[in-house]
Structure 1
Amino acid sequence: MSGAPFVVATMARRGLLVPGAPHRVAQQFAELHRWGFGLAGELRQAAARSPGRVAVIDDQRSLTYGELLDRSGRLAAALPVVAGDRVGVLCRNSVAMIETLIAVTSVGADPVLINTGLSAAQLAAVATAQNLSVIVHDPSFTEVLGDFPGGIPTSALAAMINAVPSATLAPPPRTGRTIVLTSGTTGLPKGAQRPTPGGFSPLCSIIDRIPLRAGVRLMIAAPLFHTWGFAGLQIALALRATVVLRRKFEPVAALDAIRANQVTALIAVPVMLQGLMELPPEADRPGLQIAAVSGSALPGGLATRFMDRYGDILYNLYGSTEASWASIATPADLRAAPDTAGRPPHGTAVAVLDRDGRPVPTGETGRLFVGNEMLFEGYTNGSERELRDGLLATGDLGHVDAAGRVFVDGREDDMIVSGGENVFPAEVEGLLADLPEVREVAVIGVPDDEYGQRLAAYVVLRETAALEADAIRNHVRQHRARFCVPRDIVFLPSLPRNATGKVLKRELPR
Structure 2
Amino acid sequence: MDAAFIASTMARRGLLTPGRPGRVVRQFAALGRWGFGLAGELRQAAARSPERIAVVDDERRLTYAQLLGRAERLAGALPAGPGDRVGLLCRNSVRMVESLIGTTIRGADPVLINTGLSAHQLAEVTKNQGLRVLIHDDEFTDQVALLTGVERLNERRIADMIAETSPEGALSPPARPGRTVVLTSGTTGVPKGARRPTPGGFRPLCSVIDRIPLRAGDTVMISAPLFHTWGFAGLQIALALRATIVLQRRFDAAAAQATMAGRSVDALIGVPVMLQQLMDLPASAKRPSLRVAAVSGSALPGGLAGRFMDRFGDVLYNLYGSTEASWVSIATPADLRAAPNTAGRPPYGTRVAVLGDDGRPVPDGTVGRLFVVNEMLFEGYTDDADTRMCEGMLGTGDLGHRDADGRVFVDGREDDMIVSGGENVHPGEVADLLAGLPQVRDVAVIGVPDDEFGQRLAAYLVLRDGETLDHEAVRAHVRRHRARFCVPRDVVFLDELPRNATGKVLARELPRNG
* TM-score (normalizing by structure 1): 0.99
Q: Are the equivalent residues in 2 in contact too, given 1:192–1:379 (CA < 8 A)?
A: yes
Q: How far apart, CA to CA, are the structure 2 residues paired with 1:481 and 1:189? A: 36
Match of 1:215 among 214, 217, 232: 217
User: For residue 407 of structure 1, what is the aligned residue in structure 2?
Assistant: 409
User: For residue 239 of structure 1, what is the aligned residue in structure 2?
Assistant: 241
Deviations 1:133-160 (A, max 9, x none): 0000000001111223411012222211
SS of the residue aligned with 2:485?
helix
SS of the residue aligned with 2:382?
coil
Alpha-carbon distance, 1:438 to partner: 1.0
Q: How far apart, CA to CA, are the structure 1 residues paired with 2:85 and 2:362? A: 42
- 1:152 equivalent in alignment to 2:169: no
Match of 1:181 among 174, 180, 183: 183
1:92-107 equivalences under 5 Å are 92-107=91-106
User: For residue 55 of structure 1, what is the aligned residue in structure 2?
Assistant: 54
User: For residue 124 of structure 2, what is the aligned residue in structure 1?
Assistant: 125
Deviations 1:23-44 (A, max 9, x none): 1111000000110000000000
Q: How far apart, CA to CA, are the structure 2 residues paired with 1:60 and 1:446? A: 46
User: For residue 291 of structure 2, what is the aligned residue in structure 1?
Assistant: 289
Q: Are the equivalent residues in 2 in contact too, given 1:138–1:155 (CA < 8 A)?
A: no
SS of the residue aligned with 1:280?
coil
- The letter for the 1-side match of 2:155 is T
Alpha-carbon distance, 1:184 to partner: 2.2
Alpha-carbon distance, 1:500 to partner: 1.0
Q: How far apart, CA to CA, are the structure 2 residues paired with 1:113 and 1:241? A: 22
CA RMSD, aligned part only? 0.8
Q: Are the equivalent residues in 2 in contact too, given 1:52–1:66 (CA < 8 A)?
A: yes
1:248-327 equivalences under 5 Å are 248-327=250-329
Alpha-carbon distance, 1:210 to partner: 0.2
Q: How far apart, CA to CA, are the structure 1 residues paired with 2:492 and 2:254? A: 30
Alpha-carbon distance, 1:494 to partner: 1.1
Deviations 1:408-432 (A, max 9, x none): 0000000111222211101111111
Question: How many residue pairs end up in the alignment?
Answer: 509
Structure 1 unaligned segments of length 5 or more: list them.
none
User: For residue 138 of structure 1, what is the aligned residue in structure 2?
Assistant: 137
* TM-score (normalizing by structure 2): 0.98
- The letter for the 2-side match of 1:507 is E
Q: Are the equivalent residues in 2 in contact too, given 1:495–1:503 (CA < 8 A)?
A: yes
SS of the residue aligned with 1:133?
strand
Q: Are the equivalent residues in 2 in contact too, given 1:120–1:146 (CA < 8 A)?
A: no
User: For residue 499 of structure 1, what is the aligned residue in structure 2?
Assistant: 501
Alpha-carbon distance, 1:389 to partner: 1.3
Structure 2 unaligned segments of length 5 or more: list them.
none
Q: How far apart, CA to CA, are the structure 2 residues paired with 1:486 and 1:328? A: 31
Deviations 1:252-278 (A, max 9, x none): 100111122111100000000000000
- 1:442 equivalent in alignment to 2:444: yes
Percent identity among equivalent residues?
70
Moved more, 269-278 or 428-437: 428-437
Deviations 1:357-404 (A, max 9, x none): 111111100000000000000000011311111110000000000000
Deviations 1:164-185 (A, max 9, x none): 1123211001011000000021
Q: How far apart, CA to CA, are the structure 2 residues paired with 1:458 and 1:260? A: 37
Q: How far apart, CA to CA, are the structure 2 residues paired with 1:364 and 1:485? A: 22
Q: How far apart, CA to CA, are the structure 1 residues paired with 2:156 and 2:341? A: 43
- The letter for the 1-side match of 2:307 is R
Q: How far apart, CA to CA, are the structure 2 residues paired with 1:492 and 1:113? A: 32
Alpha-carbon distance, 1:20 to partner: 0.6
User: For residue 37 of structure 1, what is the aligned residue in structure 2?
Assistant: 36
SS of the residue aligned with 2:344?
coil
Q: How far apart, CA to CA, are the structure 2 residues paired with 1:193 and 1:143? A: 29
Alpha-carbon distance, 1:436 to partner: 1.4
